[in-house]
Structure 1
């Protein structure tokens, strides 16, 4: 990918640049699915974590679980989850906005003192559209979109995934390269200067 293409992945709607990665191992937990789907979801998150070079842990010493994925049928179910209002600020107004927009997914991040990701919450309202997506595809998409703090516009037009001729769904190679480069240990866990793009691009170029 060219530098301008990488920059677009982390330039938000207000024009600001922000790239952040996990600063600790992920400790995922999944709610609202059967055992078979649970295995698929956790497998996808583990695969993307391996790509980034971060560990999957049983628990996070500060939060217990720091990557929570919720599957449900209606946004009204969210406020009924115990202590959810403590995890997600202004939960009531958020649910109202999501209902009004007829949204079927939402991701919320929390950050450490260095700006790195320390927790992520993924909410998936299984409407007709998401219910028609294979579990493997849906899980991989969410894993990719939580491994880094991408722009709010990064994947609105194009998916980070691609289908093979055999029908399998895989992460696009160019997105995989960006993930690996962004997790290079010499790069900061968070960056707000667009010059960060040049360092990411240099690491991609070095691996080709």
Structure 2
């Protein structure tokens, strides 16, 4: 990928550039799914973290769990989750906005003092559209969109996932390489200057081809 292809993925609708990665190991917890779906989600998370060279932990010493994923049928269900309003400021107005927009997914990020991701909350309303998506595809899509702070317009025109000839859905190779480059220890955990996209492109160009 070139700088001109990478930059829009981290350029928000207001024109600002922002790319951030996790600054700590991920400690996930998933609510509202059966064990099989839970295993699928954790499998996708492990695969993407291994690819990125990032760690997964049983618990976060500060938060306990720092990646919380909620599956539900109605946005109003969130208002009944104990203490969620303490974690998500303005939860009730947010629920009203998401209902009005007929949204079926939403992600909230929290950042540490350096600007790296310290926590993320993923909300998935399982309407007819999301319910029709295979669990493996949904899990991989959500993990990819949580690994980095992408632009609010990223993947609007083209998914981060692709389909192989045998029907399997996988992460597009160029997006996988981009995530690996963003997690390279020599790269900053957070960047707000578009020149960061040029550095990512340089790392992609220098990376060896996948085996």
Normalising by structure 1, we get a TM-score of 0.99
Deviation at 1:42, TM superposition (A): 0.7
Which residue number in structure 2 is paired with residue 142 of structure 1? 142
Match of 1:70 in 2: 70
User: Match for residue 9 of structure 1?
Assistant: 9
Match of 2:153 in 1: 153
Q: Deviations over 1:77-136 (max 9, x none)?
A: 001100101111100110000000000000000000010000000000000000000000
- How many angstroms apart in 2 are the aligned matches of 1:158 and 1:172? 10
**Counterparts in 2 of 1:35-50, with a 5 A limit?**
35-50=35-50
Q: Map 1:101-180; keep pairs closer than 5 Å.
A: 101-180=101-180
Instruction: Give the Cα separation in 2 of the matches to 1:75 and 1:90.
Output: 14
C-alpha separation in 1, matches of 2:90 and 2:157: 29
Q: 1:160 Cα shift?
A: 0.1
| RMSD of equivalent CA atoms | 0.6
Q: Quote how far apart the aligned CAs of 1:46 are.
A: 1.0
Cross-structure match for 2:32: 32
Structure 2 SS opposite 1:77: helix
- Report how many residues are paired: 208
1:85: which partner in 2?
Answer: 85
| Alignment partners' CA distance in 1, 2:127 and 2:71 | 10
CA–CA separation in structure 2 for the residues paired with 1:60 and 1:181:
25
Q: Distance in 1 between matches of 2:124 and 2:108?
A: 12
Q: CA deviation at 1:39?
A: 0.2
**In structure 2, C-alpha distance between the alignment counterparts of 1:26 and 1:138, rounded to whole Å:** 19
What SS is found at the alignment partner of 1:36? Answer: helix
Shift of 1:52: 1.2
Alignment partners' CA distance in 2, 1:116 and 1:60: 15
Q: Stretches of 4+ moved more than 6 A in 1? A: none
Task: Give the structure-2-normalised TM-score.
Answer: 0.98
Q: Which runs of 5+ in 2 are unaligned?
A: none
Tell me the alpha carbon deviations over residues 31-74 of structure 1, each in whole angstroms, 9 at most, x when there is no partner: 00001110001111111111111111000000000000000000
2:21 paired with 1:21: yes
The equivalent residue for 1:61 is: 61
